[in-house]
């Protein structure tokens, strides 16, 4: 799902808290490389030019909080004051105020006095012990300083810290231009590459890139493996590799990856010749005597430290013919001039490639800059750890938490007391392949059909139609949440009007169920809605607000932001009547406004609100076109295969 960007925010006159990556190398007060400051400027300047009051925060180095003396020394070493001075040089038309604090009166006063078009830079976030622990109190404090949050520190988004995740869970959020660019290049390369797609992996250890190897094999056409990790693959092929770096525990893994590549019809390229020496250079850039040997015949008393010329030519040829290339990790000990030739050859090949070329941060980014090719590739990532996590196919906590550019609809068929297990399986087999990524589609089945439905549904989500809030007890005929947990259920409908009317469920009961579901990690779909009598008396708003307030009592804003609320006018359920799109939108807007008043803007923007009431293929699109309707809870029209597929196809 695309993330909201800074362009989507109304920042005029707003205090905007921006997480930047100012973790720059420095010696004392002298910054030796200001590339990360420069990389943050487009977002900062955009905000200033659009009338924002900009509050910047970043980490710098590491701070040991275990030893008081070490803490004091680390704080003195990693003070942000020189960064503020450098930033002021790049922003001559703005006033940059540095605050030597991460909380307290001085910071609050500077923020209160901050004018449009100016900047406050606070002290190093890692001065706070709770930063790396995502301390909720610290996140709440930092969030209280601002109206909006922008994440633009790609090098830090793989960490769930207070400044990268905690604040974003509280404030309306967006990504800055730097992260937007990173997600576009890395995302397009991995998810929709122009082929041939070549992945290049280097570096020391196989263990560091297990998931990357596995994930890239699924995506790319050719996987090139160099660096120290190549020797474990060569060992897995039965070759002797001398004293080269080998991860003996990963030999079987390498064998399985070679087998996987063959099964998938993918190509893995390994070195065919190797530059060897008697020992690793010490210091790393010391003169060293080397020779080149075949990779399948490395003598017992030497170690491989770089790829040879034949391998460099082989790899370069593959790279030059590619349309998409992602590179992470050098081919050898590139810090040593004698052992940098393989890395240099691959870098030169990338520079000559007409396709999209992406350097995945870390050592490979350092290498391509050191070798002078950085301006001749499509993109050099600013985050080594983050880009590695991305290539592994993992989520990035500091990106995942950012608001989406729109709420993805959720369409759930509520089957009520219909369909046997066999009928449910037949329905899912027919509908599941038709599911698109335009929305989350699912079905709520009877309890007896749930386990089978979960087993057979690959694209559809499966929901229960009810649960009891107690874990166990003398509740004849009821279903407990632990029972639903055991079968892997992720969603559950509660408070449906039929249960309120027929079984006397109250708002208090619904609230207990909501809390219990959250405790179990199951997403509630909480229903609300008014009777015909209430509607005709003009008391819909009062009634619905009351249900929302009672049903959500005691929840956190984060919980509410993650749930689904279904507005179902009782008079439109099973009657053939339906609320007009105007009536449905007005009431869903009331629901969202009540959430806003109770839990804040962030929760209101993220909570998904469904409309339920005689929704069918012919009218679903017009409901979903409304601003506050994020999906539908569908009854009768969800029972027939053809009808439900029509609904799926109607969602744009």
Q: Does residue 370 carry a pLDDT above 90?
A: no
CB-facing half-sphere around the CA of 25: CA atoms within 13 A:
4
Q: What percent of the chain has pLDDT over 90?
A: 83
Closest CA to 401 of 19, 103, 55, 58: 19
Domain that holds residue 364: 192-400
Give CA angle at 307 (302, 308), nearest 5°: 90
- Beta strands per DSSP E along 202-278: 222-225, 267-269, 273-277
pLDDT tens, residue by residue, 79-117? 999 999 999 999 999 999 999 999 999 999 999 999 999
pLDDT tens, residue by residue, 111-160? 999 999 999 999 999 999 999 999 999 999 999 999 999 999 999 999 99
What's the Cα-to-Cα distance from 320 to each of 188, 314, 346, 426, rounded to whole Å? 19, 10, 10, 50
Q: Calculate the CA dihedral of residues 484, 487, 490, 491 and round it to 10 degrees.
A: -50
For residue 283, give every residue at least 6 positions away whose Cβ sits within 8 Å of its Cβ, in sequence order, or none: none
Q: Which residue has the higher pLDDT, 135 or 408?
A: 135
Residues facing residue 411 across a β-bridge: 441, 632
- Residue 189's pLDDT is what? 85
- Grade residue 394 by pLDDT with cuts at 50, 70 and 90: confident
- Domain total for the chain? 3
- Residue 371's pLDDT is what? 82
- Whether the CB-CB separation of 591 and 609 falls below 8 Å is answered with yes
Residues facing residue 468 across a β-bridge: 480
Do residue 503 and residue 642 come from a single domain? yes
Picking from 139-143, 208-212, 272-276, which range would have the lowest pLDDT averaged per residue? 208-212
- Residue 575's pLDDT is what? 65
Q: What percent of the chain has pLDDT over 70?
A: 99
Edge-to-edge strand list for the sheet holding 273-277: 291-294, 273-277, 303-307
- Rounded CA-CA distance 417/398 in Å is 42
- Residue 1's pLDDT is what? 53
Buried/exposed code over 517-552 (b: 16+ C-beta within 10 A; e: otherwise): bbebebbbbbbbbbbeebbeeeebeebbbebbeebb
In terms of phi and psi (left: phi > 0; alpha: psi -120 to 50; beta: otherwise), the region of 419 is: left
Q: Is residue 181 part of a domain?
A: no
| Contacts for 601-604: CB closer than 8 Å, 24+ residues apart | 601/172, 602/169, 602/170, 602/171, 602/172, 602/173, 602/403, 602/557, 602/561, 603/557, 603/558, 603/560, 603/561
Q: What is the mean pLDDT of residues 230-234?
A: 96
- Residue 212's pLDDT is what? 87
Active site residues: 496, 568
- Grade residue 512 by pLDDT with cuts at 50, 70 and 90: very high
The residue among 400, 419, 443 that closes a domain is 400
Q: What is the mean pLDDT of residues 495-513?
A: 94
Q: Does residue 269 carry a pLDDT above 90?
A: yes
Residues facing residue 27 across a β-bridge: 30
Give the DSSP per-residue string, 549-563. Answer: HHHTTT--HHHHHTS
Do residue 37 and residue 87 come from a single domain? yes
Q: Does residue 210 carry a pLDDT above 80?
A: no
- Residue 574's pLDDT is what? 63
The CATH number of the domain holding residue 380 is 3.40.50.1260
Q: Does residue 203 carry a pLDDT above 90?
A: no
Q: Which of 116-125, 335-344, 570-579 has the highest mean pLDDT?
A: 116-125
Q: What is the mean pLDDT of residues 229-253?
A: 94
Do residue 168 and residue 239 come from a single domain? no
The residue among 120, 145, 175 that closes a domain is 175
Determine the straight-line distance between the first and last CA of the chain, rounded to whole angstroms: 15
Do residue 250 and residue 143 come from a single domain? no
Q: Is residue 643 part of a domain?
A: yes
Q: What is the mean pLDDT of residues 6-29?
A: 94
- Rounded CA-CA distance 499/639 in Å is 20
The residue among 365, 400, 435 that closes a domain is 400
Residue 449, burial from CB neighbour count under 10 angstroms (0-12, 13-18, 19+): buried
Strands 291-294 and 273-277: what pairing?
antiparallel
CA torsion sign for 188, 189, 191, 192 is positive
- Grade residue 361 by pLDDT with cuts at 50, 70 and 90: low
- Grade residue 576 by pLDDT with cuts at 50, 70 and 90: low
Do residue 419 and residue 304 come from a single domain? no
Q: Is residue 1 part of a domain?
A: no
- Residue 565's pLDDT is what? 98
Picking from 146-155, 198-207, 310-319, 323-332, which range would have the lowest pLDDT averaged per residue? 198-207
- Residue 118's pLDDT is what? 98
Query: Residue by residue, what is the 3-state secondary structure of 379-411?
Result: EECCCHHHHHHHHCCCCCHHHHCCCECCCCCEE
What's the Cα-to-Cα distance from 205 to each of 231, 330, 352, 359, rounded to whole Å? 9, 12, 28, 19
Do residue 157 and residue 220 come from a single domain? no
- Residue 534's pLDDT is what? 93
- Whether the CB-CB separation of 514 and 468 falls below 8 Å is answered with no
Do residue 478 and residue 344 come from a single domain? no
Do residue 366 and residue 467 come from a single domain? no
Rg (CA), the chain: 29
Q: Is residue 405 part of a domain?
A: no
Average pLDDT over all residues of the chain? 93
Q: Is residue 231 part of a domain?
A: yes
The CATH number of the domain holding residue 562 is 3.20.20.70
Q: What is the mean pLDDT of residues 476-488?
A: 95
165: number of Cβ within 10 Å: 22
State the pTM of this model: 0.74
pLDDT tens, residue by residue, 53-65? 999 999 999 999 9
Do residue 613 and residue 639 come from a single domain? yes
Buried/exposed code over 210-224 (b: 16+ C-beta within 10 A; e: otherwise): bebbebbbebbbbbb
Do residue 360 and residue 505 come from a single domain? no
Q: Is residue 183 part of a domain?
A: no
Residue 331, burial from CB neighbour count under 10 angstroms (0-12, 13-18, 19+): buried
Do residue 225 and residue 334 come from a single domain? yes
- Residue 522's pLDDT is what? 96
Do residue 149 and residue 223 come from a single domain? no
Q: Does residue 373 carry a pLDDT above 80?
A: yes
Q: Is residue 440 part of a domain?
A: yes
Q: Is residue 180 part of a domain?
A: no
């Amino acid at each position: 799902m695309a993330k909201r960007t800074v362009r989507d925010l109304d920042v005029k006159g707003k205090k905007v808290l921006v997480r930047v990556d100012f973790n720059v190398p420095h010696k004392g007060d002298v910054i030796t490389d200001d590339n990360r400051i420069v990389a943050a400027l487009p977002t900062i300047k955009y905000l200033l030019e659009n009338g924002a009051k900009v509050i910047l925060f970043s980490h710098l180095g590491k701070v040991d909080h275990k030893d008081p003396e070490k803490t004091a020394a680390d704080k003195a070493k990693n003070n942000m004051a020189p960064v503020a001075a450098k930033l002021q040089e790049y922003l001559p038309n703005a006033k940059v105020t540095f605050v030597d604090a991460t909380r307290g009166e001085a910071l609050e006063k500077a923020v209160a006095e901050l004018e449009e078009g100016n900047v406050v830079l606070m002290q190093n976030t890692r001065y706070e012990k709770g930063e790396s622990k995502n301390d909720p109190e610290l996140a709440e404090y930092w969030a209280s300083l601002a109206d909006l949050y922008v994440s633009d520190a790609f090098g830090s988004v793989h960490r769930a810290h207070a400044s990268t995740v905690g604040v974003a869970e509280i404030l309306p959020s967006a990504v800055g231009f730097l992260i937007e660019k990173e997600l576009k290049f890395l995302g397009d390369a991995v998810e929709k590459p122009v082929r041939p797609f070549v992945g290049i992996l280097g570096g020391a250890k196989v263990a560091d890139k297990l998931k990357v190897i596995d994930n890239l094999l699924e995506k790319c056409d050719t996987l090139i493996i160099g660096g120290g990790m190549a020797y474990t693959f060569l060992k897995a092929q039965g070759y002797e590799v001398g004293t080269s770096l080998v991860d003996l525990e990963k030999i079987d893994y390498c064998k399985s990856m070679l087998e996987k590549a063959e099964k998938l019809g993918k190509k893995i390229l390994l070195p065919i010749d190797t530059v060897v020496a008697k020992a690793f250079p010490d210091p790393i850039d010391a003169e060293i005597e080397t020779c080149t040997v075949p990779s399948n015949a490395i003598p017992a008393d030497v170690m491989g430290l770089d790829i040879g010329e034949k391998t460099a030519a082989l790899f370069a040829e593959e790279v030059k013919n590619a349309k998409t290339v992602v590179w992470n990790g050098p081919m050898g000990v590139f810090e040593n001039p004698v052992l940098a030739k393989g890395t240099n050859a691959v870098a030169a090949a990338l520079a000559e490639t007409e396709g999209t070329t992406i350097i995945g941060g870390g050592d490979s980014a350092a290498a391509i800059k050191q070798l002078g090719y950085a301006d001749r590739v499509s993109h050099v990532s600013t985050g080594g750890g983050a880009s590695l996590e991305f290539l592994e196919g993992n989520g990035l906590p500091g990106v995942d938490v950012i608001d989406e550019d729109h709420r993805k609809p959720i369409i759930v068929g509520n089957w009520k007391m219909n369909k046997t297990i066999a009928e449910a399986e037949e329905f899912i087999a027919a509908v599941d392949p038709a599911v698109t990524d335009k929305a989350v589609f699912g079905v709520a089945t009877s309890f007896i059909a749930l386990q089978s439905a979960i087993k057979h549904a690959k694209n559809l989500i499966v929901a229960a139609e009810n649960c009891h809030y107690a874990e166990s007890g003398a509740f004849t005929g009821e279903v407990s949440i632990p029972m639903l947990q055991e079968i892997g259920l992720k969603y559950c409908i509660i408070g449906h009007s039929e249960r309120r009317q027929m079984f006397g469920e109250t708002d208090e009961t619904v609230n207990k169920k909501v809390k219990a579901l959250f405790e179990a990690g199951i997403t509630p779909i909480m229903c609300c809605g008014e009777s015909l009598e209430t509607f005709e008396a003009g008391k819909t708003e009062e009634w619905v607000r009351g249900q929302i307030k009672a049903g959500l009592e005691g929840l956190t804003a984060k919980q509410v932001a993650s749930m689904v609320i279904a507005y179902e006018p009782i008079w439109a359920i099973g009657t053939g009547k339906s609320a007009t799109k105007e009536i449905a939108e007005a009431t869903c807007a009331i629901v969202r406004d009540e959430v806003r008043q109770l839990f804040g803007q962030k929760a209101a923007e993220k909570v998904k609100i469904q409309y339920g009431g005689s929704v069918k293929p012919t009218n679903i699109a017009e409901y979903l076109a409304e601003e506050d309707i994020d999906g539908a809870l569908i009854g009768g029209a969800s029972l027939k295969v053809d009808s439900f597929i029509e609904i799926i196809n109607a969602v744009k």
